[in-house]
Copies of this chain bind each other. A is one copy, B any other.
Amino acid sequence: MDKRATIKDVAEAAGVGVATVSRVLSGGSASRQTRERVLAVAAQLDYRPSALGRNLRQRRTGGMGLLVPDLTDTFYGQLAEGVLACARSAGEPVVLGSTGGDPEQEAELIGMLLEQSVDRLIAVPSGDAETWAPAIRAGMTVVFADRLPAQPDQEDPAATAVSDLMLLDGLSAAPQSRPLDVPAVVADDRAGIRTAVRYLRGLGHKRIAFLGGPGQDRRVAAFREAVGAPVDEELIVFGTGSRDSAYAAASGLFQSRPDLSAVVAGGNVLGEAAVLAARELDLRVPRDVSLVMYDDVPWAELCSPPLTVIAQPGRDMGYRAAELVLRAGSRRPRVVVLPTELIIRGSCGPHR
């Protein structure tokens, strides 16, 4: 039961000081002679620098945190895979948390990460700006993915435009109502939704419903914009995030408005709920109701008919977010928008 070799062991065995060993291993300058010797000894002793010591010394943990609402949601699985891929290629660990879409749990997890001195975080936020202020005030480098924290009241487009210029710091006067200034990588929801709505319109659909989930403000807004002026508020319904609630919302929608002819689901669990509810109510897809779902997931093709979807690159999103959080120096890209693609399969038909 031999303990792991420490830098001290290596130093002694190589006949040099610990500082030299540290330098060699960190890529600092050293003579070729000593470098080789140290490297040889280190390899022979199977020395691995302890992340603990290093982290304590530099007062920060390597790696990054990752907060998603639910790993059971295939899209977040894809996103996580992207993050992990980037982290692995950088040799950095990622500590994972699942918030369940609950701001309270999210805050708790942020606290845990703070305690761990994890200072880089990529998150699919569930809480609002107020939830996130402590994290960034604590000096965390955070990158949002998939969505942005809810802004308490954000109707004015000018405010959005100006937010790029505002930096939220601990000294700001009114920290709670200030929009956060945090890099993010999201899908082009607006284009995605618009394309879908136009496509449905092109098929003759007039009454198009939107089935949304938590944190989909941007998609809802895009939907409102796409359908145009007189929006039928009854056709916009929300689930709370759980599968049950999504099903209830979908079922309620179908029952209260039998006149709708198409629905766009704001995410894959919403889409799932929609086809389940439709089947339960004996609505045929796409004969009775057309369906387009946000997120392209492997099983979308398994449905019959296969689901027409707005694909967003979940894996890329995660990868890019991880890149962003790692190269936090370059302050250039505030928010990167990834393209969406309407993939037409079989769940949409002409308005009967």
Name the contact of A95 in the complex, choosing from B74, B95, B98 (C-beta under 8 A): B95
CB distance from A275 to the nearest CB of B (A): 6
**Known contacts A52-B55, A88-B105; A81/B98 CB under 8 A:** yes
Name the contact of A84 in the complex, choosing from B91, B98, B139 (C-beta under 8 A): B98
| A174: interface (CB < 8 Å) | no
Name the contact of A97 in the complex, choosing from B2, B77, B84, B275 (C-beta under 8 A): B84
How many copies of the chain does the oligomer comprise? 2
Assembly CA distance A272 to B53 (angstroms): 46
In the bound complex, residues from chain B placing their C-beta under 8 Å from that of A63 are: 95
Say whether A304 contacts B303, CB under 8 Å.
Answer: yes
Q: Which of A9-17, A107-115, A120-128, A256-264 contacts B (4 or more CB under 8 A)?
A: A107-115
CB distance from A249 to the nearest CB of B (A): 16
| A71: interface (CB < 8 Å) | yes
| A228: interface (CB < 8 Å) | no
| A186: interface (CB < 8 Å) | no
In the bound complex, residues from chain B placing their C-beta under 8 Å from that of A302 are: 272, 275-276, 299, 302-303
Q: Which of A43-51, A147-155, A211-219 contacts B (4 or more CB under 8 A)?
A: A43-51
CB distance from A8 to the nearest CB of B (A): 14
Interface string of A119-149 (1 = CB under 8 A from B): 0000000000000000000110000000000
In the bound complex, residues from chain B placing their C-beta under 8 Å from that of A93 are: 95, 97, 112-113, 116
In the bound complex, residues from chain B placing their C-beta under 8 Å from that of A113 are: 93
Say whether A84 contacts B71, CB under 8 Å.
Answer: yes
| A80: interface (CB < 8 Å) | yes
Which residues in chain A, 52-79, are within 8 Å of chain B measured between CB atoms? 52-53, 55-56, 59, 61, 63, 66, 70-74, 77-78
The residues of A with any CB-CB pair to B shorter than 8 Å are 1-2, 4, 48-53, 55-56, 59, 61, 63, 66, 70-74, 77-78, 80-81, 84-85, 88, 91, 93-98, 105, 108-109, 111-117, 138-139, 169-170, 243, 269, 272, 275-276, 297-299, 301-304
Known contacts A72-B74, A74-B77; 7 additional CB pairs below 8 A are A48-B114, A52-B59, A52-B117, A56-B56, A84-B96, A88-B109, A303-B303
Q: List 18 A-B contacts (CB under 8 A).
A: A1-B169, A1-B170, A48-B111, A49-B115, A51-B117, A52-B116, A71-B80, A71-B81, A72-B81, A73-B77, A74-B74, A84-B97, A84-B98, A88-B108, A269-B298, A272-B302, A297-B299, A303-B304
